[in-house]
């Protein structure tokens, strides 16, 4: 029997896939990214070589993950950072809540961070009376709309400029005719006072630098820089897989991330933070706390075939390339991480039984693996998840019966030729395959006579 989440996915997929306004918005926005990314890739003399080097580097880190984690912790502490380990979302929330309370903060400023979405930080802080203010423009838009990020890189990808203008008119009473530049200026002004008065700032990290004990943060708006440099306390919430051996690796990884994410040579603001302000420094936080989040990553790490997915640098390229994502959208996955990479990692982060259906939501066209800057074999990993789901008995019983029947029939020429086309078409309709395909598509009909019979008949005439 299909799980509740699987049924919900199918229902929402049907609703979204045939919402033509939504489809038009997504395709328009992704087409703009596709054009920029293609231009960005063309700047590389040998893109494949860069991807190969990045893949080898990330696999090296994974192979020695405990070593690099301990090295990072040791060097970060030497820099004056506090390092905390959170086994799951609850532990991360407890650590952050305690720090925020100690700081007497009424609100915090937060730059874009998928790990904070993963632990549902905003709602938890709200419960203790602390407002979490999103400072990335896209995150700010979806927060105002009461929504979650739609895409790993572009949180408001599902909204047109007309949608955003209508939202800002409703919430802030600014003109519905406002241009993107005017809306951006309005948000900048609104957030400026928050940055000046915030006691706590929270960021993620694109990379952890083991040798230097620092974090690397890349962004386009400067909100990340303001989130860690102005408040007295800087909290970094980051997954344990985000390691690089050294800052020397950034000249490879930052451009690859930028090109595959937005098509840029490199993003506008690139910061390496080594700790809180030193005694002779006027700017910077008084405290810097790095929270290393597991939250199911060890489960994935200990699954040999799928552990390669921890090499992901969250560029979003596989989402933009995926025909399924383009049609069903980001929210349908009901997971922080959507698209092909989300379909691979979510079953291991949140439970295979409930989320194994995501690995079946793929055409296996191979495009996601082709575009990945660190060469994660996503189609193969999706198949591995499917194999695991079948082996553990998580797939619907009817599916198992149908697949066994098809295996028996398709592997036997005599069984294939036993019935003519009309009988096969009847069995397909009565067997429910037409229902599985849905009423928006017609299941192709079988010919009156099989190819084998037609071939024998034709051969006998010559």
DSSP state of 80: T
Digit-coded pLDDT (tens) for 417-451: 777 777 777 777 766 565 666 667 777 888 888 88
The residue ranking higher by pLDDT, 453 or 116, is: 116
The residue ranking higher by pLDDT, 396 or 225, is: 225
Whether residue 31 lies inside any domain: the answer is no
The answer to whether the CB of 275 falls within 8 A of the CB of 288 is yes
| Shared-domain flag, residues 219 and 362 | no
Cα gap 87→293, rounded to integer Å: 6
Q: Where are the alpha helices (DSSP H) in 46-160?
A: 47-63, 65-78, 89-102, 114-118, 121-127, 137-144
Q: Assess whether pLDDT exceeds 80 at residue 182.
A: yes
The helix/strand/coil state of 244 is strand
| Shared-domain flag, residues 281 and 420 | no
Cα gap 145→269, rounded to integer Å: 27
| Shared-domain flag, residues 200 and 348 | no
- Beta strand spans in 274-320 (E): 287-293
Digit-coded pLDDT (tens) for 390-422: 999 888 777 777 778 778 877 888 877 777 777
The answer to whether the CB of 315 falls within 8 A of the CB of 300 is no
Given phi > 0 = left and psi -120 to 50 = alpha, else beta, which region is 243?
Answer: beta
Which pair of tokens denotes residue 58? Answer: 């990330």
CATH of residue 257's domain is 3.40.50.10420
Give mean pLDDT, residues 309-338.
Answer: 95
The answer to whether the CB of 295 falls within 8 A of the CB of 348 is no
- pLDDT at residue 407, as a whole number: 83
At which of 391, 418, 442 does a domain end? 391
Whether residue 183 lies inside any domain: the answer is no
N-to-C CA span, the chain: 53
Whether residue 41 lies inside any domain: the answer is no
- pLDDT at residue 432, as a whole number: 59
| Shared-domain flag, residues 85 and 202 | yes
**By percentage, how much of the chain surpasses pLDDT 90?**
79
| Shared-domain flag, residues 97 and 202 | yes
**By percentage, how much of the chain surpasses pLDDT 70?**
97
Whether residue 28 lies inside any domain: the answer is no
The answer to whether the CB of 115 falls within 8 A of the CB of 208 is no
The residue ranking higher by pLDDT, 163 or 3, is: 163
| Shared-domain flag, residues 225 and 102 | yes
> What is the residue whose two structure tokens read 């989320």?
355
Which pair of tokens denotes residue 405? Answer: 């029947």
Q: Is the pTM of this model over 0.95?
A: no
- Rounded to the nearest angstrom, the gap between the alpha carbon of residue 45 and the centroid of all alpha carbons in its chain is 28
| Shared-domain flag, residues 270 and 357 | no
User: Cβ contacts of residue 330 below 8 Å, gap of 6+?
Assistant: 149, 150, 151, 157, 158, 319, 338, 339
- Neighbour tally for 294: CB within 10 Å: 20
Which pair of tokens denotes residue 388? Answer: 């695991």
| Shared-domain flag, residues 436 and 323 | no
Whether residue 20 lies inside any domain: the answer is no
Strand pairing class (131-134; 107-110): parallel
Q: Assess whether pLDDT exceeds 60 at residue 1.
A: no
Whether residue 418 lies inside any domain: the answer is yes
Pick from 377, 375, 403, 374: nearest CA to 389: 403
Cα gap 252→270, rounded to integer Å: 13
| Shared-domain flag, residues 386 and 417 | no
Cα gap 177→151, rounded to integer Å: 26
- pLDDT at residue 457, as a whole number: 82
Q: Between the CA of residue 336 and those of 274, 308, 403, what are the distances in Å?
A: 28, 19, 32
Residues β-bridged to residue 244: 209
> What is the residue whose two structure tokens read 């069903």?
328
CATH of residue 322's domain is 1.10.1060.10
Burial of 220 (0-12, 13-18, 19+ CB in 10 A): middle
At which of 391, 411, 435 does a domain end? 391
Whether residue 185 lies inside any domain: the answer is no
| Shared-domain flag, residues 343 and 449 | no
| Shared-domain flag, residues 402 and 454 | yes
Cα gap 301→294, rounded to integer Å: 10
Q: Assess whether pLDDT exceeds 60 at residue 256.
A: yes
The answer to whether the CB of 349 falls within 8 A of the CB of 363 is no
Whether residue 224 lies inside any domain: the answer is yes
Digit-coded pLDDT (tens) for 335-355: 999 999 999 999 999 999 999
Specify the number of domains making up the chain: 3
Q: Assess whether pLDDT exceeds 90 at residue 240.
A: yes
Digit-coded pLDDT (tens) for 262-301: 999 999 999 999 999 998 888 899 999 999 999 999 999 9
Q: Assess whether pLDDT exceeds 70 at residue 19.
A: yes
Residue 88 belongs to domain spanning: 61-139+147-155+195-295
Give mean pLDDT, residues 294-320.
Answer: 95
Pick from 81, 130, 82, 136: nearest CA to 107: 130
Burial of 340 (0-12, 13-18, 19+ CB in 10 A): buried
At which of 368, 391, 414 does a domain end? 391
| Shared-domain flag, residues 233 and 84 | yes
Please state, rounded to an integer, the average pLDDT across all residues of the chain.
92
The answer to whether the CB of 122 falls within 8 A of the CB of 98 is no
Digit-coded pLDDT (tens) for 62-78: 999 999 999 999 999 99
Give mean pLDDT, residues 26-43.
Answer: 94
Where does the pLDDT of residue 4 fall: very low under 50, low under 70, confident under 90, or very high at 90 and above? confident
The helix/strand/coil state of 272 is strand
Where does the pLDDT of residue 453 fall: very low under 50, low under 70, confident under 90, or very high at 90 and above? confident
């Amino acid at each position: 029997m299909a799980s509740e989440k699987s049924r919900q996915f199918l229902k929402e997929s049907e609703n979204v896939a045939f919402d033509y306004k939504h489809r038009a918005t997504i395709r328009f926005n992704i087409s703009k990214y596709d054009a920029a990314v293609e231009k960005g890739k063309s700047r590389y003399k040998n893109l494949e070589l860069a991807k190969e080097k990045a893949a080898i580097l990330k696999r090296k880190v994974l192979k020695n993950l405990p070593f690099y984690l301990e090295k990072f912790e040791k060097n970060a502490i030497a820099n004056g950072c506090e390092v905390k380990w959170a086994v799951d979302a609850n532990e991360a929330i407890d650590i952050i809540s305690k720090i925020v309370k100690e700081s007497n903060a009424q609100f915090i400023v937060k730059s874009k961070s998928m790990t904070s979405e993963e632990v549902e930080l905003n709602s938890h802080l709200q419960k203790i009376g602390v407002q979490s203010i999103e400072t990335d423009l896209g995150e700010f838009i979806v927060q105002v709309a009461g929504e979650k990020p739609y895409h790993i890189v572009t949180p408001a990808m599902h909204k047109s400029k007309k949608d955003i203008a209508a939202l800002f008119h409703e919430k802030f009473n600014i003109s519905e005719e406002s241009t993107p530049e005017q809306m951006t200026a309005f948000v900048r002004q609104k957030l400026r006072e928050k940055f000046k008065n915030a006691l706590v700032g929270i960021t993620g990290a694109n990379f952890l630098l083991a040798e230097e004990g620092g974090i690397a943060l890349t962004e386009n708006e400067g909100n990340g820089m303001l989130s860690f440099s102005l408040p007295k306390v800087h909290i970094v919430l980051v997954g344990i897989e985000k390691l690089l051996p050294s800052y020397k690796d950034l000249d490879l990884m930052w451009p690859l991330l930028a090109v595959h994410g937005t098509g840029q040579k490199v993003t506008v603001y690139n910061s390496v933070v080594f700790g809180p302000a030193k005694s002779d420094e006027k700017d910077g936080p008084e405290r810097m706390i790095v929270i290393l989040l597991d939250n199911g990553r060890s489960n994935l790490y200990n699954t040999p075939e799928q552990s390669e997915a921890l090499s992901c640098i969250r560029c979003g390229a596989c989402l933009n390339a995926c025909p399924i994502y383009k049609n069903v959208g980001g929210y349908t996955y009901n997971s922080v991480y959507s698209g092909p990479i989300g379909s691979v990692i979510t079953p291991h982060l949140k439970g295979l039984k409930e989320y194994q259906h995501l690995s079946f939501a793929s055409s296996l066209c191979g495009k996601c693996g082709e575009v990945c800057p660190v060469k994660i074999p996503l189609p193969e990993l999706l198949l591995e998840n499917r194999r695991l789901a079948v082996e553990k008995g998580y797939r619907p019983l009817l599916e198992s019966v149908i697949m066994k029947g098809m295996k028996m029939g398709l592997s036997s020429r005599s069984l294939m030729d036993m019935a003519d086309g009309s009988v096969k078409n009847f069995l397909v309709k009565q067997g429910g395959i037409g229902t599985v395909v849905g009423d928006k598509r017609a299941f192709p009909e079988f010919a009156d006579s099989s190819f084998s019979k037609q071939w024998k008949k034709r051969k006998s005439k010559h």
